[in-house]
Homo-oligomer: A and B are copies of this chain.
Amino acid sequence: MADLRFSFSAGPAALPSPVRERIREDFAGWDGGRTSILEVSQWNPRLLDTFAKVETDLREILTVPDDYAVLFLHGGASNQFAMVPMNMLGDGGRADYLHTGLWSGKAVQEARRYGQVNVAASTAGTEFRSVPAQRELALDTTAHYVHYTPVETAHGVQFDYTPETGDVPLVADATAALLATPLDIGSHGVVYASTQKNLGVVGMTVVIVRRDLIGHAAPFTPTTFDYAVHQRTSSRFTTPPVFAWYVTGLVLDWVRDQGGQPAMIERSRRRAEALYSTIDASAMFTAPVDSTSRAWTNVVFTLSDANLTEIFLKEAEEEGLADLRGHSAVGGIRASLYLGMPEAGAHALGAFLTDFEARHG
């Protein structure tokens, strides 16, 4: 492959290049180069300051209300597919799930093992081409919570509204959404996001949870899956995911430098718009998702001649546009545009689409 220009990897995703540089500098220079952030004791005062600052910054940048805890947990969002019902269903309660793509489907499957799951809306019948409207949600007012996935990474679907669930806590798998799309923490009971998309590197999931929802774990919940344990220990019940926590801090420093969450969201919208408008203007490429439900961070599209897909991927790689293959469950092309993607990357891909169509159309 030619020199990499832009990675459209769905995850681990590209870091903002200033963050990559900061890691390089810190890695060479921590304590005069005699050690590194990977090796200091979990009680190191500088490390503890780092952890505390990340939480403060996250609370400020995301406007997290005081009655929410912020937890920094090992592992990916798939752990939350079990942790949410384990912590919120008691022993066999009921929950509503909105099924809008691959990942919310996985969340449904896992939750079924811990309680009664009502799929309050599903767009499976229309191949996940849109989000259900509020009036289409068959919500149970006695449910313990409503779970949804604001952005579906594989199918490229995004909620353009926050579901209204009354007094029932709303739970969001915001892995692909947080910081890149509008999301009001205070409208949710729980917001969780693995950090490998917008917030840093693989290995950590941030869980923002209203404090009154903590402390109700089912008896069979592993101790490391109990929100109450992590709240009580400031996410240091075990040695925490030190490196991922630190990188998230660097990402948040960069976000603030760039103008905070509003600037991130606006940039994310523009990146997506640039690419979708090229696709819509083309006769060769098709974005299957309805225009109001298209994900900003995951632009999914197909070629009118499926035989050209492999040629497209090969030529893109040769142009330094990497990792554009669609998720194996969906096929086609997917361009992931997370926080680390400069607008120039979306424009470069758009230009490549236009050029590819001129040559092969």
Contacts and interface: CB of A to CB of B under 8 A. Distances in A.
A177 B219 CA distance: 32
Interface stretch (A2-10, A161-169, A207-215): A2-10
> What number of copies of this chain does the assembly contain?
2
Contacts of A36: 15, 20, 23
Interface of A: 3-5, 7, 9-15, 20, 23-24, 27-28, 31-32, 34-36, 38-43, 74-79, 81-83, 86, 110, 113-114, 194, 196, 201-203, 219-220, 222-225, 237-244, 247, 322-323, 325, 340
Contacts of A10: 41
Contacts of A196: 239
Given A79-B224, A110-B222, A201 B15 contact: no
Contact of A9 (B32, B39, B78, B202): B39
B224 A222 contact: no
A9 B38 CA distance: 12
A32 B1 CA distance: 12
B203 A243 contact: yes
A34 B3 contact: yes
B34 A241 contact: no
Given A4-B35, A27-B27, A75 B78 contact: no
